[in-house]
Amino acid sequence: MRTSKLFYAALIVASLSAPAFAQTAVTPHPDHASLLSSADTRLAANKRLVYDFWREVFEAGQVSAADKYVAESYIQHNPNVPDGRAAMVGFISRRNPTPKPVEAHVKAPLVSIVAERDIVVLSFVREYADPKDVSRKYTTTWFDMFRIENGKIAEHWDSALRQ
């Protein structure tokens, strides 16, 4: 009897001293203009190119503007979309068959825009149902990374899984 009481007491102490798994929620950045700035004019231009592509083509579905932003030989690393600008246009058209007005700002909850060399990374808040308690939500971060070549988006990476 005494052993089981000691066991349970030890179990309670261990559980109280175990690290708590909590999360600081991912939150969007309130000022997109500040995210677009850079002391390097080339990096600022690359950020603006990707930001405007995201607003105009990806979110609004204005695929007729794709050639302004995306190279014809566009390389796609998302496993659900083939390479090429035409394939990307087809993907966006299926996802967003009726073009919408272009918003002044990216609608998705944007966390950050980072540019270095010829790469621009957008990060977004993603919200999901908690698998341990589907009545609760949690946030995480989604990344889209683009390579710019000759003033157009030449390549794209994200964290998409095969569907």
Phi and psi, residue 162, nearest 5°: -60, 135
Contact 27, 123 (CB under 8 A): no
pLDDT tens, 62-93?
Answer: 999 999 999 999 999 999 999 999 999 999 99
Phi and psi, residue 19, nearest 5°: -65, 140
Provide the CB-side half-sphere exposure for 112 (13 A, CA).
Answer: 9
Residue with tokens 């990307």: 88
Contact 58, 92 (CB under 8 A): yes
C-alpha 72/C-alpha 124 separation (Å) is: 26
Q: What is the pLDDT of residue 23?
A: 82
Q: What is the pLDDT of residue 163?
A: 84
Query: What average pLDDT does this structure show over 147-156?
Result: 98
**Residue 77 per-residue DSSP state:** -
Nearest to 153 by CA among 109, 110, 92: 92
| 3-state SS class at 68 | helix
Query: What average pLDDT does this structure show over 140-148?
Result: 97
C-alpha 57/C-alpha 66 separation (Å) is: 6
Residue 18 pLDDT more than 60? no
What global pTM score does this model have? 0.85
| 3-state SS class at 8 | helix
Q: What is the pLDDT of residue 19?
A: 47
The residues, ordered by sequence, that sit 6+ positions from 37 with a Cβ below 8 Å of its Cβ are: 44
The residues, ordered by sequence, that sit 6+ positions from 126 with a Cβ below 8 Å of its Cβ are: 26, 139, 140, 141, 142
Q: Which pLDDT band, with edges at 50, 70 and 90, does 15 fall under?
A: very low
Domains of the chain in start order, with CATH, are: 26-158 (3.10.450.50)
> Strand order in 70-76's β-sheet?
70-76, 152-158, 133-149, 119-130, 110-116
